[in-house]
Amino acid sequence: MAAEDVDEQGISREELQLAARNHGMPLEALRHEITPLGLHYLLIHFDVPDVDSATWRLSIGGLVRRPLTVSLEDLRTRATVTIPVTMECAGNGRALLSPRPVSQPWLLEAVGTAEWTGTPLRPILEEAGLNQGATEILFTGIDRGIDGGIEQDYERSLALDEAMRDDVILAYGMNGQPLLPQHGAPLRVIVPGWYGMTHVKWLRSITVLDRPFLGYQQAEAYRWRTDEEDEGKAVTRMLPRSLLVPPGIPDFFTRVRYMASSTWLLEGRAWSGWGPVERVEVSLDGGDSWRDARVGDPPARHAWVPWTFEWAAHPGEYEVCSRATDASGRTQSVDAPWNLKGYSNNAVQRVKVIVR
Ligand SMILES: Nc1nc2c(c(=O)[nH]1)N[C@H]1C(S)=C(S)[C@@H](COP(=O)(O)O)O[C@H]1N2
Ligand SMILES: [Mo]
């Protein structure tokens, strides 16, 4: 089937099935600095496992001198940190690409910011004692399924230096509550700045390796490729993105926004895993002309920054866009570069607004 045919066929039953399981964050929730529980997006490849946190154990093994087995109680007695982290699915924006890569059909809502509570990973790895030659840390979830025809546990690795970063934590709490089943209870890893697939949920084991992990979710999925033969590039940190709180009131079906002619304060949030967001611009004409928004302070390095833009809105039809630029110079384009699996499409949001 030609790619164009897929695009013209619209959303398939299978895509709809995934979209109903994996919900996004309603964009009006961008008003909250910390996304309330239940409004954070969800992405679950297989099934939410049923885990008894009383009998659950995490094992730390592989190339270590002292393999460890720890309970949730043990983890709770260790150093505790709470950090706000913005997390975005690497597939966010996928369904806006043309032709549409067929998978979870995200538009722009696959993002949220939670306050994660847990314990730093590094002291646990140090306690286990890394053997010479350790280069990667593999995180394995309890959930199991079939993807790309391959039966597998959901698991992904991180390079050792990345895993040893101070802000990489094993989280058992979210927004001051115990982690919910759908977000990875009893334990998940949080890797600030990286796309969502890195933050492995329902952790079962951590394995120290001396070679690159080549499992499906590492070597096959989450690679930026333009065709099947292309070996591609690993998808890692979040590209800059800015989203605006849809202004005014929506039309139920089209989500087109209606506003009265007046002076409005547009607001939104922006983030990047490659450096602090330094600039946010707003366009009222679909990206033809841009003006600077006022950028506020983020609650923490890896949480989104708020921004505002004063708009004296006169009657007419507008296409409102915003774009973020980070300290590394990375920014958002008006048109998305296409890739096979639809990863990291950070093209600007377009909100149709009718001012009456
Ligand atoms: N074990 C496990 N961890 C996982 C996943 C999964 O399916 N299984 N999905 C990943 C993906 S692709 C994303 S985007 C995030 C989503 O986290 P959330 O559902 O808590 O928002 O979890 C990641 N961790
Ligand atoms: Mo994801």
CA of 112, nearest ligand number:
1
Fold for domain 3-221?
Answer: Sulfite Oxidase; Chain A, domain 2 (3.90.420)
Tell me the average pLDDT across 298-322: 97
* Any atom of ligand 1 within 6 Å of the Cβ of 293: no
Q: Write down the pLDDT at residue 5.
A: 42
For 210-257, write each residue's pLDDT tens digit.
Answer: 999 999 999 999 999 999 999 999 999 999 999 999 999 999 999 999
CA of 44, nearest ligand number:
1
Tell me the average pLDDT across 332-355: 96
* Any atom of ligand 1 within 6 Å of the Cβ of 199: yes
Query: How many whole angstroms separate alpha carbon 104 and alpha carbon 111?
Result: 14
Q: How far does residue 202's CA lie from ligand 1's centre (Å)?
A: 9
* Any atom of ligand 1 within 6 Å of the Cβ of 244: no
Extents of the domains making up the chain: 3-221, 241-355
Is it the case that residue 3 has pLDDT exceeding 80? no
Q: How far does residue 316's CA lie from ligand 1's centre (Å)?
A: 41
DSSP string, 3-62: HHHHHHH-S-HHHHHHHHHS----GGGGG-SSPPTTTS----SS------TTT--EEEEE
* Contact predicate 69/149, CB 8 Å: no
| Torsion sign (Cα): 26, 102, 200, 275 | negative
Query: How many whole angstroms separate alpha carbon 167 and alpha carbon 204?
Result: 21
Tell me the average pLDDT across 268-283: 98
Q: Write down the pLDDT at residue 6.
A: 43
For 77-125, write each residue's pLDDT tens digit.
Answer: 999 999 999 999 999 999 999 999 999 999 999 999 999 999 999 999 9
CA of 143, nearest ligand number:
1
| Closest residue CA from atom 21 of ligand 1 | 42
* Any atom of ligand 1 within 6 Å of the Cβ of 202: yes
Give the nearest ligand 1 atom to 88 CA.
14
Q: How far does residue 165's CA lie from ligand 1's centre (Å)?
A: 20
* Any atom of ligand 1 within 6 Å of the Cβ of 102: no
Pocket test for ligand 1, best of 44, 48, 56, 217 (most atoms within 8 A of CB): 44
Tell me the average pLDDT across 265-291: 98
Pocket test for ligand 1, best of 40, 113, 201 (most atoms within 8 A of CB): 201
* Any atom of ligand 1 within 6 Å of the Cβ of 200: yes
Q: Which residues contact 143 (CB under 8 A, 6 or more apart)?
A: 44, 45, 46, 47, 48, 49, 153, 154, 201, 202
For 30-78, write each residue's pLDDT tens digit.
Answer: 999 999 999 999 999 999 999 999 999 999 999 999 999 999 999 999 9
Q: Which of 39, 27, 33 is nearest to 246 (CA)?
A: 27
The CATH class that applies to domain 241-355 reads mainly beta
Q: How far does residue 4's CA lie from ligand 2's centre (Å)?
A: 25
Question: For the ranges 7-11, 94-98, 258-262, 282-286, which has the lowest average pLDDT?
Answer: 7-11
For 311-327, write each residue's pLDDT tens digit.
Answer: 999 999 999 999 999 99
As a 3-state breakdown, the chain gives helix, strand, coil percent values, each rounded to 5, of 15, 35, 50
Is it the case that residue 335 has pLDDT exceeding 90? no
